[in-house]
């Protein structure tokens, strides 16, 4: 049985199985997990130890053993072919899948098929998992700021609604990502958000940090919460990890905090 560790991440809970530590959200009553950097076999210091992505400096065999360990801990599954995986490209492209495998690049999956593990990879970007307990539908989304302002969260909700979901029934978990404390951006970021989502939206979520340096703090989680609510998801059906990837280098990989030399984490969900 997976055992519960004590670390303040309310409302998310940290679990550990055979060395693999991962978070669960309290409102997703299907198997799911948000990985940490703990429990894998990556040996390079900056990849230690649960790097779940190709192309970061690990041999493919190491990445696949790490993925196997993560899926084993969360889903009791040792077969990588059950997992839908793809490279993330900061788009709002999501795809329906009915089986595992490596898919062309994009930023999300959704399904009504039990036994298919949906995955997205992150290292500061916002992982979002959706579950409709009435219609038995799930989605996994990777919301970088570009995908966020392109509306990937809304698209995820709409995709489930096109399969019969009512947005008021959809449960959502927003995993650990970089938060405004560490997400310092410049005016071009503010302008890009304004151009996509309007002045009010930009002013709400990209706030002045240092007047002299003309820097801003970006709240990408806040953007996604607003977009989810706008799409009809109820506030009480959304759980959010309070942690920041860049603040907790011992637990998470952070692209920004590491200057880009880092491993990659995964969020994953499956209908049983
Ligand atoms: Zn931080």
CATH of the domain at 223: 3.60.140.10
Is 224 found in the same domain as 213? no
pLDDT at 8: 75
**Residue 3 in domain:** no
Q: What is the pLDDT of residue 3?
A: 45
Distance from the alpha carbon of residue 177 to the mean position of ligand 1, in angstroms: 9
Ligand 1: centre distance to CA 125 (Å) = 13
With a cut of 50, list the residues of the chain below it in pLDDT.
Answer: 1-5
Here the tokens at position 133 are 């307990």
| 195 and 72 share one domain | no
Domain count, the chain: 2
Residue 248 Cα, ligand 1 centroid: separation in angstroms? 8
Asked if the structure places residue 238 within a domain, the reply is yes
Same domain, 72 and 35: yes
Instruction: Provide the residues around ligand 1 (an ion) whose CB is within 5 A.
Output: 179, 181-182, 244, 246-247
Whether residues 95 and 188 share a domain: the answer is no
Instruction: Give the pLDDT score at 4.
Output: 46
Q: Which pTM was predicted?
A: 0.96
Amino acid 114: pLDDT? 98
For position 7, what pLDDT does the model report?
A: 56
Give the range of the structural domain holding residue 214, as residue numbers without chain letter: 184-218
Is 2 inside a domain boundary? no
Q: Please indicate, yes or no, whether residues 169 and 106 belong to a single structural domain of this protein.
A: yes
**Residue 65 and residue 162 share a domain:** yes
């Amino acid at each position: 049985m997976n055992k519960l560790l004590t670390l303040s991440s309310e409302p998310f809970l940290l679990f550990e199985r055979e060395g693999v530590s991962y978070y669960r959200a309290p409102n997703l009553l299907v198997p799911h997990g948000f990985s940490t950097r703990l429990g894998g076999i990556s040996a390079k210091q900056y990849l230690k130890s649960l790097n779940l992505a190709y192309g970061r400096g690990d041999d493919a065999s190491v990445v696949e053993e790490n993925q196997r360990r993560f899926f084993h801990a969360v889903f009791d599954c040792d077969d990588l072919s059950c997992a839908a995986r793809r490279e993330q490209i900061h788009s709002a492209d999501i795809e329906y899948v009915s089986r595992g495998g490596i898919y062309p690049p994009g930023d999300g999956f959704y399904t009504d098929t039990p036994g298919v593990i949906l995955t997205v990879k992150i290292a500061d970007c916002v992982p979002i998992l959706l579950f409709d307990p009435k219609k038995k539908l799930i989605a996994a989304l990777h919301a970088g700021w570009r995908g966020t302002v392109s509306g990937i969260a809304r698209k995820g909700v709409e995709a489930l609604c096109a399969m019969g979901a009512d947005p008021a029934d959809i449960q959502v978990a927003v995993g650990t990502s970089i938060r405004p404390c560490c997400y310092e951006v410049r005016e071009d970021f503010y302008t890009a958000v304004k151009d996509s989502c309007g002045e009010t939206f930009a002013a709400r979520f990209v706030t002045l940090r240092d007047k002299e340096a003309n820097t801003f703090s970006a709240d990408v989680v806040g953007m996604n919460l607003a977009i989810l609510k706008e799409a009809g998801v109820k506030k009480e059906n959304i759980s959010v990890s309070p942690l920041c990837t860049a603040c907790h280098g011992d637990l998470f990989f952070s692209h920004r905090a590491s200057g880009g030399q880092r491993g990659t984490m995964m969020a994953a969900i499956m209908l049983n």
